[in-house]
Amino acid sequence: MSASHPVELDTLYGEYPLDEAFDEMRQANGGVRAHYRALSDTLARLPEEELQRCKQSADLSFLTQGITFTVYGREEGTERIFPYDLLPRLITAPEWDRVERGLTQRITALNLFLRDVYSDAKILNDKVIPSELVYSCKHYRRQMRGLQVPRNVYIAVVGSDLLRLTTGEFVVLEDNLRVPSGVSYMLTNRRVMKRTFPQLFSSYGVRPIEHYPQLLLSTLRSLAPEGRPEPNIVLLTPGVFNSAYFEHTYLARQMGIDLVEGRDLVTHDNIVYMRTTDGLKRVDVIYRRVDDDFSDPLAFRADSSLGCAGLFNAYRAGNVTVTNAFGTGLADDKAIYTYVPKMIRYYLDEDPILPNVETYLLSEDNERRHVLANLDKLVVKAVGESGGYGMLIGPQSTAGQREEFARQIESNPRNYIAQPTLAFSRAPCLIGNHLEPRHVDLRPYILFGDKVNIVPGGLTRVALERGSLVVNSSQGGGSKDTWVLE
C-alpha cells in the first residue's frame, strides 16, 4: 500500500482493544457509534501522509501560538508543545444537557454549603455532615467565619472532573474549587482543531466555547464591590515560575485585564492598590490564581512573598472582591466530597443528577479496615492534594508502596479516602499512524456570577501512556478538544 492510498480500516484500528471500559467511539461489538461515524469515515479516507501532515501542522500551530512550556532549567531551553491528541472527543447534545443540569445543581449546592458553614453552620447542627470533618480540614479558614461575601458567591470558577463509567453514565470524580487550571488549553485546542479539520468541524455542528473569556470577565465584573461601577479587575499570578503561568497570561490578555503579582500590590487603609507608572491605582476585583496560604503574609503563611500584606483585611472590609473566596478548599476536600449528594438534598431538596463515585472515608473505622485489607484493588488519595500527587493506584503498585500508604493511613486517617479502581472510558487517539484507545476524563468549567454559565464541553484529559489511568498534565497526561454536538 503506497502512502497516498487511504489507510485501511484494519490498519487504522489495528491494535484497538475493547474491554469492559466504555469506549467513546466504538460499541462493544466493534461497531462505530452513530455520532462518531463521520469522524471515523474521515480518518479512514485520509491518506496516511495527510494524517501525519495534519499532526505536524497542528504541532506547528501550538508552537507558534506559544502554547508551550519552556524547560527553563536546562541550557538548551527547548520549548515543548503541551501534549495533546489530534482527535476530538465527542459528546451528544442529550448527554451534555444532563451534565450541565447536574453541574449547575452541584455548584449551587456547594456555594450554599460554603455560605452555611462560614456562617450559621446549620448543616452541621442538623448533623448531616460531621462537624469534626469540617473543622479538621486544613483548608477550613476560621478567618472566613461571619464574613460577608459579594452576592454570596464563594466559588465563581470551578472545574469539576467527570468520568464516564462502563454504563456510559457520567459521574463526578472530584471538584476543583481552589485554582482550577486548563481552560487555556481548552481554548487553544479548539483553535487548532478548527484549523486542522475545518470541514469535519463545520459538518458536525459543534457548540462554540470561544466566549469563555468574556463570560469569565462578566462573572468577575458582577462580583465587584458596591459602588464601583467601573471596577478595576486584575488577575493575581504567582509569576513566571508557576507551571500554569502561560494560562494566567493567556486569560489576562483575552479578558483585557492586568496581570499582577503580589509585589505589584499594596494595601493602605484597607484598600488594595496596584503600583503603576501613573501612581497607585485602586483594585476592585482580584481573580486569584495564588493559593490561600500564599495570598497574605499577615493572614496566612508569613513566609510567603507571592501575596500582598493586608489583602485579607481589605477583603474583610468589603473594599476588594477576591475570587474564588478564601477557604473554598474546604469544599474540594475529598472527604467532604463524599457528602455532596447529601448537600444537594439538604439545600435544594433534589436528588443529585450526577452521582459521586463510591468513596471510602478512612476516618470511619469499618471503612478503613476494608480498605487496608484491599489496598491492591483500590485507589487511595490524600484529601487535600491535586495534580495526581499523594495517590496510590492499588493494582499498579508494589507491595512496598502499599505498606508505606498503609502506614500513612494509620497515622492520619482523616487525610485519606479510597475509591475503587474504575475502568473509566477510553477515546481513540492517534498513536503513530493508527488509532489506539486511551483513558479520558472530562473537566467542564463552571462559572458562577449573577448566574451559572458552563461552556459546552471543557477539557478532555488523556492518559497518553497505554494502560495508564493518570490523566494529570503534571504526570504525563495530555488533552483533547471536546466537541459538544448541536
Partner 1 sequence: MLSRVADSLYWMSRYLERAENTLRQLDVAMGLMLDTGAASPETRWKRLVASLGQDSGLDWNGDLESMAGKLVFDQINQAAVTFCINGARENARQVREEISSEQWQRLNRLFHYIHSPRAQTEFRSNIGDALATVLDGIHLFTGVSAATMIHGPGWQFIRLGRYLERAYATATLLEVYQSDLLQPQEREYAGYQYIEMVGLLRCCTSFEAYCQVYTADVSPDRVLEFLLLNQNFPHAIRFCVDSIRDAVEAIHRGGSRRPSDELTAGIGRLHAMLGFTSIGEILGGDPAAFLHTIREQCLRIHEIIYRYYVHYSIQSALAS
The Cα–Cα gap between 9 and 12 comes to 5
Which SS3 state, helix, strand or coil, does residue 105 take? helix
Interacting positions 199-218 with partner 1 (CB under 8 A): none
- Angstrom distances, CA of residue 317 to CA of 17, 147, 256, 388: 59, 9, 27, 37
The Cα–Cα gap between 64 and 193 comes to 15
Q: How far is the CB of 265 from partner 1 (least distance, A)?
A: 10
Measured from the CB atom, is 154 or 250 closer to partner 1?
A: 250
Q: How far is the CB of 72 from partner 1 (least distance, A)?
A: 8
Measured from the CB atom, is 266 or 430 closer to partner 1?
A: 266
Measured from the CB atom, is 163 or 233 closer to partner 1?
A: 233
Q: How far is the CB of 81 from partner 1 (least distance, A)?
A: 15
Measured from the CB atom, is 216 or 392 closer to partner 1?
A: 216
Interacting positions 259-278 with partner 1 (CB under 8 A): 259-261, 263-264, 266, 268, 273-278
The answer to whether 267 and 309 are in contact (CB under 8 A) is: yes
The Cα–Cα gap between 363 and 4 comes to 61
Q: What is the dihedral of CA 41, 479, 52, 56, to 10 degrees?
A: 140
Q: How far is the CB of 240 from partner 1 (least distance, A)?
A: 6
Q: How far is the CB of 243 from partner 1 (least distance, A)?
A: 15
Stretch that binds partner 1, among 53-61, 246-254, 318-326, 373-381 (CB under 8 A): 246-254
Q: How far is the CB of 273 from partner 1 (least distance, A)?
A: 8
Q: How far is the CB of 280 from partner 1 (least distance, A)?
A: 5
Burial 227-255 (b: 16+ CB within 10 A, else e): eeeebbbbbbbbeeebebbbbbbbbbebb
195 binds partner 1 (CB under 8 A): no
Q: Which residues lie below 8 Å from residue 10, measured CB to CB, with a gap of 6+?
A: none
Q: How far is the CB of 236 from partner 1 (least distance, A)?
A: 12
Report how far Cα 133 is from the mean position of its chain's Cα atoms. 24
- Angstrom distances, CA of residue 391 to CA of 28, 281, 381, 404, 409: 31, 44, 5, 12, 12
Burial 354-370 (b: 16+ CB within 10 A, else e): bebbebbbbbeeebbee
Stretch that binds partner 1, among 42-50, 92-100, 258-266, 291-299 (CB under 8 A): 258-266
The Cα–Cα gap between 90 and 442 comes to 11
Measured from the CB atom, is 224 or 252 closer to partner 1?
A: 252
Backbone angles phi, psi at 308, to 5 degrees: -135, 120
The answer to whether 445 and 212 are in contact (CB under 8 A) is: yes
- Report residue 92 as a C-alpha cell: 451528544
53 binds partner 1 (CB under 8 A): no
The Cα–Cα gap between 307 and 408 comes to 32
Measured from the CB atom, is 43 or 260 closer to partner 1?
A: 260
Measured from the CB atom, is 174 or 261 closer to partner 1?
A: 261
Stretch that binds partner 1, among 3-11, 103-111, 247-255, 345-353 (CB under 8 A): 247-255
2 binds partner 1 (CB under 8 A): no
Interacting positions 341-370 with partner 1 (CB under 8 A): none
What would the x/- binding string for partner 1 be over residues 64 to 103, using CB under 8 A? x-x--------xxx--------------------------
Measured from the CB atom, is 231 or 413 closer to partner 1?
A: 231
Q: How far is the CB of 250 from partner 1 (least distance, A)?
A: 9
Interacting positions 278-337 with partner 1 (CB under 8 A): 278-280
The Cα–Cα gap between 110 and 157 comes to 12
Measured from the CB atom, is 53 or 263 closer to partner 1?
A: 263
The Cα–Cα gap between 180 and 197 comes to 29
Q: Which of 60, 240, 317, 373 binds partner 1 (CB under 8 A)?
A: 240
230 binds partner 1 (CB under 8 A): no
Measured from the CB atom, is 86 or 251 closer to partner 1?
A: 251
The Cα–Cα gap between 4 and 56 comes to 17
Measured from the CB atom, is 77 or 400 closer to partner 1?
A: 77
The Cα–Cα gap between 29 and 248 comes to 44
The size of the interface with partner 1 (CB under 8 A), counted in residues, is 26
Q: State the residues that interact with partner 1 by CB under 8 A.
A: 64, 66, 75-77, 239-240, 249, 252-253, 258-261, 263-264, 266, 268, 273-280
